[in-house]
Amino acid sequence: MVENCIFCRIVNHEIPAKIIYEDDQVVAFHDISPKAPVHVLIIPKKHIPTLAHVQEEDLPLIAHIHKVVLQLQQELGLQNGFRLIANCDKGGGQEVFHLHYHMLGGGKIEAFPE
Ligand code: AMP
Ligand code: ZN
């Protein structure tokens, strides 16, 4: 838990989010400003600031996130496919510095990042 991290606060249920999946390692919830008919964020409960901060010991967690993505593909009706994006650091357009994957699909995907 990192103070003032909005996604840590969602993990801790301190602020509301439309959570669609949760287990001991991961939370997934709808993006507050969707760029596609389906736009969810998949985040580790562990506070990892960016993709570049992923350590060797985190790789099982990253693999688990990918498994969750494939489960959500079925549950969200994205059998036709989807886009998975991880913006890394300021140069990649990252605004929230808690690792997250955007999962987008279900129709037109807006230009992203803007
Ligand atoms: P990024 O630019 O990759 O850091 O994306 C951050 C994403 O988090 C944006 O798509 C925001 O719309 C989304 N976001 C920010 N605050 C919240 C929140 N409280 N609940 C859900 N999504 C959020
Ligand atoms: Zn955090």
List pLDDT tens digits, range 60-91. 999 999 999 999 999 999 999 999 999 999 99
Q: Which of 96, 109, 114 to mutate to test the pocket of ligand 1 (most atoms within 8 A of CB)?
A: 96
Q: Is 100 a catalytic residue?
A: yes
Q: Which pLDDT band, with edges at 50, 70 and 90, does 3 fall under?
A: confident
The rounded Å distance from CA 48 to ligand 2 centre is: 7
- Virtual CA dihedral for 45, 50, 51, 55, nearest 10 degrees? -70
Q: Which pLDDT band, with edges at 50, 70 and 90, does 112 fall under?
A: low
Distance CA 107, CA 17 (A): 23
Which ligand has its closest atom nearest to the C-alpha of 46? 2
For 9, other C-beta atoms within 10 Å of its C-beta total 17
CATH top-level class for 6-105?
alpha beta
113, pLDDT greater than 70: no
Which ligand has its closest atom nearest to the C-alpha of 85? 1
What are residue 86's phi and psi, to 5 degrees?
Answer: -125, 105
